[in-house]
Structure 1
Amino acid sequence: MKFNCTQENLHRGLALVSHVASRASTLPILTNILFEATGTSLVLSATNLEIGIRTKVRGKVEREGKVVVPARLIDECVALLPKENVVLTLEGDALRIQSGSHDNKIHTLPADDFPLLPTIDERIVIDVTPTRLAQVLRVTLFAVSFDDTRPELSGVLIATRGGVLTAAATDSYRLAEKTTELVRASQDIEGVIIPLRTMQEVARALALISPGEEEGVVKIALGEHQVSFHMEDTLIISRLIDGQYPHYQDIIPPQYESSATVERAVLEQALKAASLFSMTGINDISLTLLPGEGGIRVRAANIHVGENTTVVPASVRGKEVEVVVNWKYLSEGLQSFSAETVNLEVNNTQSPMVVKPQGEKGHLYLVMPIRQ
């Protein structure tokens, strides 16, 4: 095997696949990357048996071949090379890596020992632009649960209807929902749960798409128990999570008795100040919508520390109402918005608070109240 390419192309390809391989620990072979020089490119593959990833590195194949290389070592080695041409040559059981004055040899394993990435029976196919998908993931992934006792919450719910994709994530304390338009859908998806780790790898791959290139589409294909994401020269395959996702629409109030429009940055600053006085572990702060004063009172009190009160200017409608929430959850939701102004909507002290970006449709964040 002999392959020539730029350091930038090789480093980018390794950055995509090495993250999956480096975390694998069940089998030693899974801490490696499969290198396959074929046709006009080098194909890199990695898997942890739950997620599989394959990407192409463009270059010149002088001699075809394949070999298995330690993921962490090759990734760190290539990252330190100068931004010049790199030559990969298989010499016996060692992969030689040459670039400028740098010359490295890495011991390898036989390619036959590496597990094959699964193929998927594409029953449903949808296309979405990379920009739209990246935005959906950015505003939902942080709300996914890390509780292993409820596996159905450890992923993102994806559903489509009428050319619109809806993604939802919840840990039962807060909920993030985002909708976006699709380029194409072969049919509607009632709802599938995709693991958080898979979606994180998709987000990482989207971030590595070369800037300035004409935007294409991400092809999402669903099989009976698997899902695949095909973007540019990269393919990610993963299992789906079995289970019934909660019917979260039931907890979203159809109407609100009180609402407020406020500058997001100003409210975030008030939350940070109040957080210094909240109870450790509970992170409780109270928000009171004050229609008479035209503001939102943000308050926290701790018998061991003291108390903090800030009235944030806001346009308030409806009646005065107070709700106690976890400031971390509310702050993370606010940070997921790009709009400078947000709407807070609430009914009473026992109902959830819903946050929406001003002037944007299809984005909702909900925080459950802390019952006093």
Structure 2
Amino acid sequence: MKITANQKNLKKALLVVERVVSRNTSLPILNNILLKTENGRLKISATNLEIGINFLIGAKIDETGEIAVPARIISDFISNISDEKVSMSTKNNILSIDSDKYKTQILGFDTKDFPIIPKIKSSPFCEIQAKLLRDSLAAVFDSVAVSEARPELAGVFTGFDKGSVVFAATDSFRLTEKITNLKNSDHKILILPRNTVAELIRTLSDTEGDIRLLIGDNQIAFANDDLEIVSRLVDGSYPDYKKVIPEKFISRVLVDKNELEKNVRLTGIFSSNISDIKIKCQEGKLCLVAKNSDRGEIESEVESVLKNEPFELSLNFHYLLDGLKVINSPKVIIEFTGQNSPLVLRQGDGGKDVVYLIMPLRN
């Protein structure tokens, strides 16, 4: 292999693919990045056997070829040089990198042991703007279960239909549903693994344009002309979470989102080791109370509009902050549905694209 590439483009590609590289002692080849010439461009690939990423950049190809090199070494080196152009060549599993100011050699590996990242050959069933996909996944990500005890909950429910896609996640303490409009899509229901969702949120933050979605044998690919992320899907069926979302409420409160968020943070300073705060909703005001035997206590008030009866309950203030984060209207609606029933957060402007539930703490 003998190529010349732009340092900035190479750095960007390496930083993207490096994140999925596994620090694997039993399979050392997974600690590497694959460099390969393909169709007049340089393809940079990495996989941890759950997620695979291919990133293609423009390059001047003098000789085709491929090599696997340690991810951290090549990424650190390319990230810390400032020369505009980088020349790379391979011989006897050694990668030589030359620029105006530097000449280096990195010991590489034969690519025959590098795992094949599956190529999904089916036609795209859906296209979605990269930013829209990223924002929708970010909205539900905090509610994904961390534990793998129930694998389906350690993922994001994704339901495609004509005109929309529904993303939902729950760890049984809170639940988020985000509905996003689409121009067109085939009907499909699947579960995206937590790690894949995290990687998509990170990678798509710097990606513009549309992303094509392709489904294969229990796998999904997210692709554009330069980037491809291939992931396995979670086996099993997602619980029917819709049954948990209350259709009626006992009381409803309208409150300024930023004011409530600020006061929740202040009240949380004095919460106990279970992060509990008490919410008391009365006519014209919402009170937040917390007490800690080692720190002290606090009571704060936020102006609000109450419909129906006053109520009070205790909940985890971190979960409440996570819910306020996904509400993108100036005001937020809080619905009380009973002492041992979920507290529901909705958009204050009447929008129905986001619903967030929190289970209250038992007194």
- Give the drift of 1:83: 4.8
2:362 matched residue in structure 1: 371
**1:158-173 equivalent positions in 2, closer than 5 A:** 158-173=158-173
Letter in 1 for 2:306: V
Among 224, 230, 233, the alignment partner of 2:226 is 233
**What is the alpha-carbon distance in structure 2 between the residues aligned to residue 350 and residue 57 of structure 1?**
54
Say if 1:147 and 1:305 are closer, same or farther in 2 by CA, change over 3 A: same
- Structure 1 contact 260–344 (Cα < 8 Å) conserved: yes
Q: Flag as ranges the 4+ runs of structure 1 deviating above 6 A.
A: none
**1:355-366 equivalent positions in 2, closer than 5 A:** 355-359=345-349, 360-366=351-357
1:201 matched residue in structure 2: 199
- Structure 2 contact 255–331 (Cα < 8 Å) conserved: yes
- Give the drift of 1:336: 3.0
Q: Is there any run of 5+ residues in structure 2 with no aligned partner, and where?
A: none
2:178 matched residue in structure 1: 178
Q: Secondary structure at the match of 1:271?
A: helix
Query: How far does the alpha carbon of each residue in 1:129-174 deviate from its partner, in whole angstroms, 9 at most, with x for none?
Result: 1121011011111211111211111111100222200000111100
- Give the drift of 1:305: 3.6
1:96 matched residue in structure 2: 96
**What is the alpha-carbon distance in structure 2 between the residues aligned to residue 284 and residue 159 of structure 1?**
34
Letter in 2 for 1:140: V
1:309 matched residue in structure 2: 299
Q: Is 2:338 the counterpart of 1:348?
A: yes
Say if 1:217 and 1:25 are closer, same or farther in 2 by CA, change over 3 A: farther
- Give the drift of 1:285: 0.9
Letter in 2 for 1:308: I
Letter in 2 for 1:255: K
1:283 matched residue in structure 2: 275
Say if 1:232 and 1:203 are closer, same or farther in 2 by CA, change over 3 A: farther
**What is the alpha-carbon distance in structure 2 between the residues aligned to residue 87 and residue 341 of structure 1?**
55
CA-atom RMSD in angstroms: 1.7
1:295 matched residue in structure 2: 285
TM-score, structure 1 normalization: 0.93
2:139 matched residue in structure 1: 139
Which deviates further from its counterpart, 107-116 or 18-27? 18-27
**What is the alpha-carbon distance in structure 1 between the residues aligned to residue 223 and residue 110 of structure 2?**
27
- Give the drift of 1:55: 1.1
**What is the alpha-carbon distance in structure 1 between the residues aligned to residue 197 and residue 224 of structure 2?**
13
**What is the alpha-carbon distance in structure 1 between the residues aligned to residue 128 and residue 183 of structure 2?**
5
Letter in 1 for 2:66: K
State the identity %.
Answer: 33
Q: Is 2:225 the counterpart of 1:221?
A: no
Query: How far does the alpha carbon of each residue in 1:37-85 deviate from its partner, in whole angstroms, 9 at most, with x for none?
Result: 2332100111111111111011211211111111111111100010511
**What is the alpha-carbon distance in structure 2 between the residues aligned to residue 38 and residue 219 of structure 1?**
20
TM-score, structure 2 normalization: 0.95
Which deviates further from its counterpart, 157-166 or 93-102? 93-102
Letter in 2 for 1:371: R
1:247 matched residue in structure 2: 240
- Give the drift of 1:352: 0.9
**What is the alpha-carbon distance in structure 2 between the residues aligned to residue 145 and residue 130 of structure 1?**
24
Query: How far does the alpha carbon of each residue in 1:239-275 deviate from its partner, in whole angstroms, 9 at most, with x for none?
Result: 1111221211111110212111212221112112211
**What is the alpha-carbon distance in structure 1 between the residues aligned to residue 121 and residue 343 of structure 2?**
41
Q: Is 2:62 the counterpart of 1:69?
A: no
1:212 matched residue in structure 2: none
**What is the alpha-carbon distance in structure 1 between the residues aligned to residue 344 and residue 71 of structure 2?**
44
Aligned residues: 362
Which deviates further from its counterpart, 117-126 or 305-314? 117-126
Q: Secondary structure at the match of 2:125?
A: strand
- Structure 1 contact 22–71 (Cα < 8 Å) conserved: no
